[in-house]
Amino acid sequence: MLENTGRTELSSLGEFGLIKHLTQFIEVKNESTVKGVGDDAAVINYKNKQMVVSTDMLVEGVHFDLMYVPLKHLGYKAVSVNVSDIFAMNAIPRQITVSIAVSNRFSVEAVEELYAGMITACNKYKVDIVGGDTTTSKSGLVISITAIGEADAEELIYRDGAKEGDLLCVTGDLGAAYVGLQLLEREKKIFLETPGVQPDLDGHDYILQRQLKPEARKDIPVLLKKLEVKPTSMIDVSDGLASEILHISTQSELGCSLYEEKIPIDPSAYNMAREFNLDPTVCALSGGEDYELLFTIDPADYPKIKANPDITVIGHMTNKKEGVNLITKGGTTHPITAQGWDSLLNK
Ligand code: ADP
Ligand code: MG
């Protein structure tokens, strides 16, 4: 067919041809990667270190919409969200495996784009793609990535280590990825209703980048080490601040007081949330996909972090019987639920 010029069908390569094609430019960067792509299994040698493993799956129509997500960004994001879990353990990611299910709706060029994004991210995070699986999907695209990392046993940070009186800290800012998603959804709706109208995304770089091409906080484990601070607990913000605070509180068997006025929100995200008639605090609490790190520290460590512009103290851990609460800007106290906080649900 003439209109298919420039499109190479997946069937022309076959499964093995596609794997070879996609993995041809992979270069091993880590000493711990003994054997990468090409055998029945990869071989990894961490000597006397602990191995840290985490998997995430992204499903078309559930986690991403190819109407507005460029495949290159999707590949980048798929790697970022996986290595983010490794950083959240205070470990260093070294390898990933990549499994994809693709339908013949995709061309070889499309899958190449996806891989180009993944390889860019792998170079950024210095991780090796050491294997994966390639299979056919009848409909949507599915990407499953497993990230593998290393740490010394005493460096690992779990969700259950927070102590009463610890300060609750977060890196970067929150809510922007969710606001970015709202903008993309709005423009998609306009486009579908009035085809031909070009999306109006100008001047919204930050919130769009936070949604489409999130960065995992590779710098934070390094920074904490430099500051000589070892958090007592840590988690990455994938589902929203509220749900992550609940995870730390529940697993550490504590309560928590979070101060609304302290939650870091970028002005561009704040203003855009307002334009959508959304409460910026709710975007931070329930939006998710920020991939920042949330952690608790001993109050004695406060002087070491207080001057750092990348870390904000947003609350403190309390006794379990005090519950997990948001103290609003107006000074009222609301129990935090995974959806945000109670008053929201009762509106
Ligand atoms: P097997 O039949 O043993 O599962 P495959 O033919 O599926 O082997 O894979 C051959 C090699 O290519 C293996 O090393 C596998 O890990 C790797 N591989 C397969 N698919 C991918 C992919 N999408 N990305 C990276 N490596 C892959
Ligand atoms: Mg296989």
Question: What is the pLDDT, as a whole number, of residue 283?
Answer: 96
pLDDT of 1 > 60? The answer is: no
Pick the ligand that lies closest to the CA of residue 128.
1
Once rounded to an integer, what is the mean pLDDT over residues 139-165? Answer: 97
- Assess whether pLDDT exceeds 60 at residue 4: no
270 or 3: which carries more pLDDT confidence? 270
Q: Tell me, yes or no, whether 160 lies in a domain.
A: no
Residue 144 belongs to domain spanning: 10-155
Q: Are residues 186 and 235 both part of a single domain? A: yes
Res. 131: pLDDT tops 70: yes
Q: How confident is the model at residue 196 (pLDDT cuts 50, 70, 90)?
A: confident
DSSP state of 107: B
3 in any annotated domain? no
Q: Report CA(97)–ligand 1 centroid distance (Å).
A: 9
Choose one of 123, 155, 187: the last residue of a domain: 155
Same domain, yes or no: 151 and 195? no
Judged against a pLDDT cut of 80, whether residue 340 lies above it is answered with no
Q: Whose CA is nearest to atom 13 of ligand 1?
A: 38
Residue 346: which pLDDT band, with cuts at 50, 70 and 90? very low
Assign 200 a pLDDT band (cuts: 50, 70, 90): confident
Q: Which of 105, 131, 155 is the last residue of a domain?
A: 155
272 within domain boundaries = yes
Question: How buried is 8 (Cβ within 10 angstroms: 0-12 exposed, 13-18 middle, 19+ buried)?
Answer: middle
User: 309 with 204, same domain?
Assistant: yes
Alpha-carbon 139 to chain mean position: 25
Residues surrounding ion ligand 2 at CB below 5 Å: 133
Express as a percent the part of the chain with pLDDT over 90.
89
What element of type H or E holds 154?
none
pLDDT at 97 over 70: yes
Q: At what angle do helices 14-23 and 108-125 cross, to 10 degrees?
A: 40
In terms of domains, do 140 and 236 share one? no
Residues 261-310: tens digit of each pLDDT: 999 999 999 999 999 999 999 999 999 999 999 999 999 999 999 999 99
What residue owns the CA closest to ligand 1's atom 11? 38
34-48: pLDDT as tens digits: 999 999 999 999 999
The per-residue pLDDT for 288 is: 93
pLDDT band, very low/low/confident/very high, at 5 (cuts 50, 70, 90): low
Mean pLDDT over the full length of the chain: 94
User: In this predicted structure, what is the pLDDT of residue 337?
Assistant: 87
Share of the chain above pLDDT 70, in %: 96
Domain for residue 113, yes or no?
yes
Question: Which of the ligands is closest to the CA of residue 40?
Answer: 1
Q: Are both 138 and 192 inside the same structural domain? A: no
Closest protein CA for atom 3 of ligand 1: 40
Compute, in angstroms, the gap from residue 132 CA to the centroid of ligand 2: 7
Q: Give the pLDDT of residue 6.
A: 81
Mean pLDDT of 338-344: 59
Q: Are residues 123 and 32 in the same domain?
A: yes
- pLDDT the model gives residue 345: 40
- Could you give the CA distance from residue 235 to residue 292 in angstroms, rounded to a whole number? 9
Asked if 16 and 130 sit in the same domain, the reply is yes
pLDDT of residue 25: 85
pLDDT number for residue 198? 81
pTM recorded for the entire structure: 0.94
Tell me: the pLDDT tens digits for 49-94?
999 999 999 999 999 999 999 999 999 999 999 999 999 999 999 9
C-alpha 216/C-alpha 121 separation (Å) is: 10
Q: Which of 155, 183, 207 is the last residue of a domain?
A: 155
The answer to whether residue 162 sits within a structural domain is no
In a shared domain, residues 220 and 278: yes
Residue 132 Cα, ligand 1 centroid: separation in angstroms? 5
Nearest to 175 by CA among 260, 313, 264, 287: 287
- Look at residue 143 in the predicted model and tell me its pLDDT: 98
| pLDDT score at 199 | 81
Task: Provide the CATH number for the domain around residue 279.
Answer: 3.90.650.10
Examine residue 94 and state whether it is found in any structural domain, yes or no.
yes
Q: Which ligand is nearest to the CA of 145?
A: 1
pLDDT tens, residue by residue, 156-175: 999 999 999 999 999 999 99
Query: Does one domain contain both 189 and 145?
Result: no
pLDDT value of position 202:
86
Asked if residue 161 belongs to a domain, the reply is: no
Question: What's the structural domain count of the chain?
Answer: 2
Instruction: For ligand 1, pick from 33, 37, 95, 145 the residue to mutate: most ligand atoms within 8 Å of CB.
Output: 37
> Using an 8 Å Cβ cutoff, are 186 and 260 in contact?
no
On whether both 125 and 59 belong to a single domain, the answer is: yes
Q: Under a CB-based contact definition with an 8 Å cutoff, are residues 90 and 213 in contact? A: no
Separation of 14 CA from ligand 1 center, angstroms? 13
> Is 297 domain-assigned?
yes
Provide the CATH number for the domain around residue 78: 3.30.1330.10
Query: How far, in Å, from the CA of 133 to the mean position of ligand 2?
Result: 4
**258 and 186, same structural domain?**
yes
Residues with CB under 6 A from ligand 1: 19, 22-23, 37-40, 98, 100, 129, 131-134
**Smallest CA separation from ligand 1 atom 5, residue:** 133
Instruction: Please check whether residues 61 and 208 belong to one and the same domain.
Output: no
